[in-house]
Amino acid sequence: MANLTGTESSDLLNGTIESDRISALAGNDTIFGFEGDDWLSGNLGDDAIYANQGNDTAYGGRGKDSLYGGRGNDLLSGNLDDDYINGNADDDTIYGGKGNDTVRGGKGNDRIFGDSQSDPFGNRGNDILFGDLGSNTLTGGEGNDTFVLGSSGDVLTDFTSGEDRIGLNGLSFSDLNISQGTGENANNTVIANRLTGAVLATLQGITASSLSANNFTALGSPSSSPNPTPNPPVRPPISSPTPTPSFGDPGGTLATAADLNNLSGMRSLQQRVDDTDPIDIYKFNLTTPSSFNLTLDGLSADADISLVKDLNNNGEIEAEEILFVSDESGITPEARSNYLLADGTYYVVVEQYEGNTDYNLTLNATPFDSSQDGGGNSLATATDLGELVDEINVNDFVSNSDPDDYYRFSLSQETGFAMFLSGLTADADVELIQDKNNNGVVDDGEVIGRSEEAGVDPEYVDVARLAPDTYYVRVLEFDGDTPYQLDLLASRDSGVDAEVFTTIDANQTIQENLESSDQANPSRIDSRKDDYHLTNVVAGQTVTVNLNSSEFDTYLQLVNAFTGEVIAENDDVDSSTDSSLSFVVQPNTDYLVRVTSFDPQDTGRGQYTVSTQTSSPIAGTIAANNTAANEVVNGELSATDLRDPADNTRYKDTYQLTNVTA
């Protein structure tokens, strides 16, 4: 579990696979929750929050925020200003909050509120609400809201004729059958697809006769068939661009995206995003692995762009399916160059951020030469990425003919570290390596982080503390050819300072107090901790740690000082409230002895005694050149002796050789 607080700057805050609590403070921050049931808050600034897996709670705070729920039953709130919120998968509860928000339910049966019902100030906002897939409940709140018709019969609880409108995405008013409900829907209006008969929405408390075409507005695909919009090239092309197909305004969903068919070479388009049509999506296909370039320019207001691959083919944009985002401020052009893509289908999403603007979109794809490998093939030939200060991004390719890519980076100070491998179209894995003996070979114990997710799921490695040193990353093909996006992140700016630990030596006893002012224990909710760095032990020694207190119920943990992983833990020994554990010291491993409590901090505090007992690393001495006789030592191997680091099933006795000269 991570308990992170950002700074006044723009931070990158990475959670863990546990249930994290992350507060970003000021700045335009990016927060990743990952697995676990996380609590995430953007606070001030224009933040991007990716809750990912788990039943998460996320608050945008003040600023124009983007919130993505990911998998799980999430609670999302944009709070103040004009936010974009997408629940993604599963059954979410979403509040737009104050401001003109765009809210999408995604997949699942969602409850969507344009405004927060509990805000005493009313939170008036002109919101756009998309139920998307699933049976959703949409409540606009105050303001002039737009309820966009989905495909699964959403319930609109507070549609007000004359104030709110119903958005048509890929449909026209003539495609609808509007009728008064029957039975339990006798006081409601039912809107259905005239062609298929599928119910699109139920408007509570509305009579069918009160609705007309004036209550509807077209979004995405046009409600009629206008003349095709011309798409001239915006600059002299490097090569002759492929003619742009004739289509009207691009749709705002993957299903209604403008289809560019096969992309080879350059293609240029000209379109517009505005308050009534905030999202344009284009679909294209690659028939061979390609190097992809994208530019969005000619802007008079702020717009952003992203590239998406619908990995699970469910017609929804999920957090892990966004390959990259370009979100420059103002009218600065958005661009991405030389991004490697496998063959397949992709989507370009142009999204209004603030204001109405025309735009020029230029796409270019050239076949990728897989022989031009950007990553080395061993530790010795690893591509040098230099010092990792904040973030390093790499885009490359692994295949059956080039199954391994190696990269080298350095750290000049201790930092938290996270690594992501995404954008996969086949299974690939990733490893973090430290060549501790500098022999150029990956030996046992030198892979300090590994991720082996199945299929095309993103890979993730998180290390709580990395010491200053040189490290290596290995990307390895597991099953099939695939491009990849590798992101290396240093979290030294996360507002979490490196800890300085009190030491506890072998065979030492310390008496101290566990207090409510001590640091929070990240692995036990609502408890405090004292950490001691275990020193003067050698590989193979057996160490026993005892923790005793007459004032609180103790809890003892052994932690890998390098990664933060809890290796072993004990609550009660011999049916008492004391704790004890034993372990064998492993090579190249540093340990923290963590004193904490079974009960929460209110009662889990008081005086304690922690002690260590170790087996001796030296069984005795044996002298060379003994003038009396050749020295003979008799000994006995037993279970109390040191373990052999090379074979943990064997015991050993070590003798110090004396009476020798150079």
- What residues pair up with 193 in beta bridges, in sequence order? 176
> Rounded to whole angstroms, how far apart are CA atoms 252 and 170?
9
pLDDT at 623: 62
Specify the 3-state DSSP secondary structure of 554: strand
Instruction: Report residue 221 as tokens.
Output: 């695909």
CB 428 within 8 Å of CB 478: yes
What distance in Å separates the CA atoms of residue 47 and residue 67, rounded to the nearest whole number? 8
- Domain coordinates in residue numbering, the chain: 2-219, 258-367, 383-491, 503-615, 618-661
Which fold is adopted by the domain 383-491?
Jelly Rolls (2.60.120)
Tell if the pTM clears 0.75, that is, is over it.
no
Q: pLDDT value at position 612? A: 93
DSSP 8-state code for residue 578:
-
99 Ramachandran zone, left/alpha/beta (phi>0; psi -120 to 50): left
Which of 48, 47, 26, 22 has its CA nearest to residue 37?
A: 22
Residue with token string 């009629």:
224
Residue 230: predicted pLDDT: 30
What is the architecture of the domain spanning 258-367? Answer: Sandwich (2.60)
pLDDT averaged over consecutive 10-residue blocks of the chain (662 residues)?
A: 77 81 84 82 84 82 82 78 77 74 73 54 61 75 81 83 85 89 91 86 92 82 30 31 51 91 92 90 92 93 91 81 84 88 91 91 85 83 92 87 93 84 85 91 86 81 82 92 86 47 88 86 77 83 92 91 81 87 83 89 83 72 54 65 56 66 59
Helix (H) or strand (E) holding 112: strand 111-113
Q: What is the torsion angle, in degrees rounded to the nearest 10, for the CA atoms of residue 21, residue 414, residue 6 and residue 489?
A: -80
Instruction: List the structure tokens of 335.
Output: 């661009």
Contacts of 636 (CB under 8 A, 6+ apart): none
548-570 pLDDT, tens digit per residue, is: 999 999 999 998 876 677 889 99
Q: Which fold has domain 503-615?
A: Jelly Rolls (2.60.120)
* pLDDT tens digits along 194-211: 887 888 899 999 999 999
Where is 428: in which H helix or E strand?
strand 427-433
**CATH topology classification for 2-219:** Alkaline Protease, subunit P, domain 1 (2.150.10)
Q: Do domains 383-491 and 503-615 have the same CATH topology?
A: yes
522-555 b/e with 16+ CB inside 10 Å = b? bbbeebbbbbbbbeebebbbbbebbbbbeebbbb
Sign for the CA dihedral angle at 185, 189, 191, 196 comes to positive
